[in-house]
Structure 1
Amino acid sequence: MNKNYNLIKGISLATLYCIIALSSSCVSSKKIAYFQDIQTVNQAKLENAIAFTEPVIQPDDILSINVFTLNPQSGAVVNQAANNPALGGNTNNSISSQSTGFLVDKNGEIELSLIGKLKVAGLTTYQARELIREKATLIYKEPNVQLRFANFKVSVLGEVNTPSAYTLPNEKVSILDALSLAGDLTIYGKRENVLIVRDNNGKKEFARLNLNSSEIFNSPFYYLKQNDVIYVEPNKSKVSASNSAQLQTVGVIVSVISVIVLAISNFK
């Protein structure tokens, strides 16, 4: 009787320890699903969410500019400058080998062959395109101008599957787009407190978004700007698991060994 009691007691203690060890690293499913209140949100509220606004050009941005004319050789003079430092272009960019174009200097200006210097800082890409088209009309016949950011970059760090800096081909990018590029959050990502760091005219701005709530669509940080940084914090389960992983492993092993020794000794 005593032998069976001791055996059952030993197994119960080991089982209890294992349950405690495993539960300390469990993640509540209530904190995983995105937009949990979406079914209860008034549709009119979603329709009035903050609309996308075009980002403005800032110093140190790199612009991809192409001028097309009736005479292709005429436009080539401007277009070649984007890949020729001697003509005012940029080819040595540490961000991406594909980020060639015209660097916006500290005065917010770019310099185009034949057209000259133009102040583009503070303008959207559409406004800058129209400005270049207006100046190019004085030199070329019926010019067609294409302009976009060549280094529209956002960085995604922390508890995501593929943290990295991503150079994007377009300007309309939401936080969901960026997280998708990073392979979504890991199971340990803190979804209710995602940090965004934004550089606005040399000043840092900070915002925290809750991916569990539909209120994210009303945030001015829902659509990203160039050079935004997204940081996903680890939740308590990840921190606890990291700090106690070795202790849990040793404890479980000791418990199992204790049960085996106890069982052997009781059956002798």
Structure 2
Amino acid sequence: MKFFIKNIKIFFIFQLLASCIPFKDTLYLEKNKDKVADIEINADAYKPYRLQVDDIVAIEIKASNPKDVEIFNKTESKTTGTVTQDQLYFSGYQVDGYGNIRIPVIGLLNVQGQTVDEVSKLLEKKLLEEYFTAASNLFVTVKLAGIKYTINGEIATTGTNTVFQDKLNILEAIANSGDIPITGNKKEVVVMRKIPTGYQSGTLDLTDANVINSPYFYLKPNDYIYIKPLKQKSTGLGLNGLQTLTTTLSLFGVLTTTYLLIKNL
């Protein structure tokens, strides 16, 4: 009996230590937090995004006489109300498999690999050369129709989201999806990114302040984020000390009762 109890105790103590999630692993940017001022932010994160196949851009062309440019705009400009991703899907210009967008009257315009500012200048130049003069006071605005990303795994709310802003980092995307629960592994967050030649991926440790220097810290359109579950989730013994202790005591009681019943048979 003593030998049995001794071994059971050793087993449960080991499980108690192994199943608990360290507090530091539940915090964001905890590691190297005192050196944040010395961390250089990746310059690539601030380089203008270059358009790829399947991206959607919103284009608005204005002139002194609005009627002169009506034919070039897909829809009339909306000065009030909130623009949704659904509306942009139909009113925006999607980059096709050849890197082109099709604009009324103008026709195909290759935009793949260009920034929105470059597309705006290219379009304005083409309009001035073929349809307008400087007296028309032409003004062309080209914007990326939001940053769309998909998030999956150990996250409060999975799915595809679109954020209407120019920059979006991984922490903001996670906050938009309800945060990573205690069962999620903040040290191994995978970001899969579409590039002209296919896909590439990187793994982020969100507990380390150095993550802000990663080229994957700032998201790009159509990124896929996957949060891995912690191994402790599969043990079933609990995610913190109290849960594990409660489960351990219950199992210990069951095993002890079972042992005594078998012994007395």
Tell me what 1:255 maps to. Answer: 253
C-alpha separation in 1, matches of 2:208 and 2:33: 11
Cα-to-partner distance string for 1:73-95 (whole Å, 9 max, x where unaligned): 22222222699xxxxxxxxxxx8
Tell me what 1:58 maps to. Answer: 52
Judging changes above 3 Å, is the alpha-carbon distance between structure 1 residues 81 and 118 closer, same or farther for their aligned structure 2 residues?
farther
Contact 2:42-2:215 at 8 Å conserved across structures: no
TM-score of the superposed pair, with normalisation by structure 1: 0.74
Tell me what 1:237 maps to. Answer: 232
Matched, 1:71 2:62: no
* 3-state SS of 1:41 partner: helix
Judging changes above 3 Å, is the alpha-carbon distance between structure 1 residues 145 and 66 closer, same or farther for their aligned structure 2 residues?
same
Deviation at 1:229, TM superposition (A): 0.6
Matched, 1:187 2:186: no
C-alpha separation in 1, matches of 2:56 and 2:76: 10
Greater displacement, 115-124 / 48-57: 48-57
Tell me what 2:138 maps to. Answer: 143
C-alpha separation in 2, matches of 1:224 and 1:20: 40
Matched, 1:173 2:168: yes
Deviation at 1:194, TM superposition (A): 0.8
C-alpha separation in 2, matches of 1:76 and 1:31: 56
Matched, 1:116 2:107: yes
Query: What amino acid is aligned across from residue 46 of structure 1 in structure 2?
Result: I
Q: Percent identity?
A: 28
TM-score of the superposed pair, with normalisation by structure 2: 0.75
Contact 2:40-2:213 at 8 Å conserved across structures: no
Judging changes above 3 Å, is the alpha-carbon distance between structure 1 residues 55 and 113 closer, same or farther for their aligned structure 2 residues?
same
* 3-state SS of 2:232 partner: helix
Tell me what 1:222 maps to. Answer: 217
1:197 paired residue among 192, 196, 201: 192
CA RMSD in angstroms, aligned pairs only: 3.6
Deviation at 1:255, TM superposition (A): 3.3
Cα-to-partner distance string for 1:110-167 (whole Å, 9 max, x where unaligned): 1212323211110011111111122222324122112122263111111111111111
Aligned length: 239
2:150 paired residue among 142, 155, 162: 155
Deviation at 1:202, TM superposition (A): 3.4
Deviation at 1:21, TM superposition (A): 7.2
C-alpha separation in 2, matches of 1:99 and 1:125: 17
Tell me what 2:39 maps to. Answer: 46
* 3-state SS of 1:156 partner: strand
Cα-to-partner distance string for 1:30-75 (whole Å, 9 max, x where unaligned): 21111123443162x3245434222111122221111111111222
Matched, 1:102 2:102: no
Tell me what 1:207 maps to. Answer: 202
Contact 2:146-2:165 at 8 Å conserved across structures: no
Tell me what 2:82 maps to. Answer: none
Contact 1:14-1:252 at 8 Å conserved across structures: no
Deviation at 1:14, TM superposition (A): 10
C-alpha separation in 2, matches of 1:28 and 1:82: 56
C-alpha separation in 1, matches of 2:75 and 2:104: 7
Judging changes above 3 Å, is the alpha-carbon distance between structure 1 residues 98 and 23 closer, same or farther for their aligned structure 2 residues?
farther
